[in-house]
Amino acid sequence: MKERGMIFNAEMVRAILDGRKTQTRRPVQFKPRDPGLNLNSSGLELGHYRSGVPLSGCVLRSRGGMGCWNDRTYPAKCPFGQPGDRIWVRETFNGFWLDDDVIQEIKDGTSLASELCDYRADFPDGSKPAEGWTPSIHMPRWASRITLEITGVRVERLRDISQEDANAEGMYLSGWRPSYSDPDSGGEVATPYDNFAALWESIYGPDSWQANPWVWVIEFREVK
């Protein structure tokens, strides 16, 4: 079993703690052997992918009928782990007042980080302590309060997400804005699929949903 850190924003953390989020999607980074090989083209399709089967998905087909073989690319191994591996959640937090002795107690398991640190997800949006927040990317392992066990990994196109999977991403049936914490937001009714699309663009930028990239679909359960 391997353990890796993964960044989650405050809305995602709240959904995990509520038991509503059991999936996360992250872009796949293909590594071409040939610099001229464009694997980000929206016209390419990954064929015959089966998790755990060597060389499955070895053909990248284009809509024009032409294709290229996987021996021109490095295998796309999930960098976040495989079923049975664990993820420790990296979230924005504040633990400036903790001295080395207390930090060592947390590492030894005699004290709990969740009782000694403040976490942005536990506060209303916009709240900020006098010392400021430590960005999630700088969270050390000892400060993490949430551990996840990976239960499944697969690859798919981003926009192939189903309504059921959008629910598993922690999304609600709500208004037109993505909402983990405010399912009663106003506006026209939007499905979990719609809200996930808006959330994705808020993280990865305009047109990132339309680009329809390959994504890792990582399923997990919280380790209590």
Rounded Cα gap, residues 22 and 222, in angstroms: 8
Question: Is 155 within 8 Å of 214 (Cβ atoms)?
Answer: yes
pTM here is: 0.74
Q: What is the pLDDT of residues 27-53, one digit of tens each?
A: 988 765 554 445 555 555 454 444 444
CA dihedral 89, 199, 125, 88 (to 10 degrees): 0
Q: What is the pLDDT of residues 61-115, one digit of tens each?
A: 444 433 333 434 455 678 899 999 999 999 999 988 788 888 888 888 878 888 8
Q: What is the pLDDT of residues 175-212, one digit of tens each?
A: 555 455 555 555 566 889 999 999 999 999 999 999 99
Rounded Cα gap, residues 206 and 212, in angstroms: 12
Rounded Cα gap, residues 81 and 24, in angstroms: 13
